[in-house]
């Protein structure tokens, strides 16, 4: 359970799987590239479980489906180029996330995003979701030296919104999110509605709170 919530001034979110379901567009781009190379396409629902590891993770999953080692550097470059032009087609906020964001803003709690994803994709996604005027910060992977689970992005966010780490909660759907948040001195929330493999014991992450719906955060304030 979150502690000392009267002190919380900001809630930061991971992007892929936590704030939004970006998987349809990532899957569509991957499958277009796979078809061009006469590879088997992937099931979009199953791909969700590999998106947290970025482009490398989705290419490795495609290799498993095709039962052969795909030239990851070439395919990854083509996948990212396609995705760059199709980053916001079917991507949408996760269920009830819009209601949570509006609730937090009404409570004067700052909302932001910290993601390992590159700004070339994130900028268009945030714009497409209509969140530009609601987010106090958007920290992307190319804005810091080290990606999560390093704390660089979270510390940069804290500096940007002028909050102390113990005044911030970080919400994510990957163990690296929880490690980064905890190491940065923030409270952490594990989003059990995100891109999580069925065989993962999310309780082992030792997040302060585990939620199955974004609106469960409302109950803490």
Query: 49 is written with which tokens?
Result: 């479980």
Residue 132 DSSP class: T
Instruction: Please give the Cα distance from 172 to 194 (Å, whole number).
Output: 8
Coil vs helix vs strand at 84: helix
Per the annotation, the verdict on 14 as an active-site residue is: yes
Q: What distance in Å separates the CA atoms of residue 1 and residue 124, rounded to the nearest whole number?
A: 34
Q: Residues for the chain: how many in total?
A: 221
Q: Are strands 20-21 and 92-93 parallel, antiparallel or unpaired?
A: antiparallel
Which of the 8 DSSP states describes residue 51? G
Catalytic site includes residue 183 = no
Q: Give how far Cα 67 sits from Cα of 6, 79, 123, 137, Å.
A: 52, 19, 35, 42
The helix or strand, by DSSP H or E, that contains position 123, with its residue range, turns out to be helix 119-128
Stated as kind and residue range, the H or E segment containing 64 is helix 54-66
Catalytic residue among 14, 152, 173, 177: 14
User: Which residues form the catalytic set?
Assistant: 14, 16
């Amino acid at each position: 359970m979150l502690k000392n919530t009267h002190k919380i001034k900001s809630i930061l979110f991971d992007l892929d799987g936590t704030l939004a379901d970006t998987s349809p567009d990532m899957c569509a781009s991957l499958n277009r590239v796979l078809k061009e190379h006469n590879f088997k396409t992937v099931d979009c629902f199953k791909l969700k479980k590999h998106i947290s590891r970025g482009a490398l993770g989705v290419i490795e999953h495609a290799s498993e489906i095709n039962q052969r080692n795909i030239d990851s550097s070439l395919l990854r470059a083509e996948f990212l180029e396609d995705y760059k032009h199709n980053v916001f087609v079917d991507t949408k906020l996760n269920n009830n996330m819009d209601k949570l964001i509006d609730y937090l803003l009404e409570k004067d709690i700052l909302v932001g995003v910290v993601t390992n994803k590159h700004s070339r994709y994130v900028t268009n996604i945030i714009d497409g979701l209509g969140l530009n005027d609601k987010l106090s910060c958007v920290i992307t992977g190319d804005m810091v030296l080290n990606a999560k689970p390093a704390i660089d992005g979270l510390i940069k966010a804290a500096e940007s919104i002028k909050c102390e780490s113990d005044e911030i909660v970080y919400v994510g759907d990957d163990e690296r999110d929880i490690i980064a948040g905890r190491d940065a001195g923030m409270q952490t929330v594990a989003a059990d509605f995100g891109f999580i493999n069925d065989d993962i014991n999310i309780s082992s992450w030792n997040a302060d709170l585990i939620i199955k719906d974004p609106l469960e955060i409302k109950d803490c304030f």
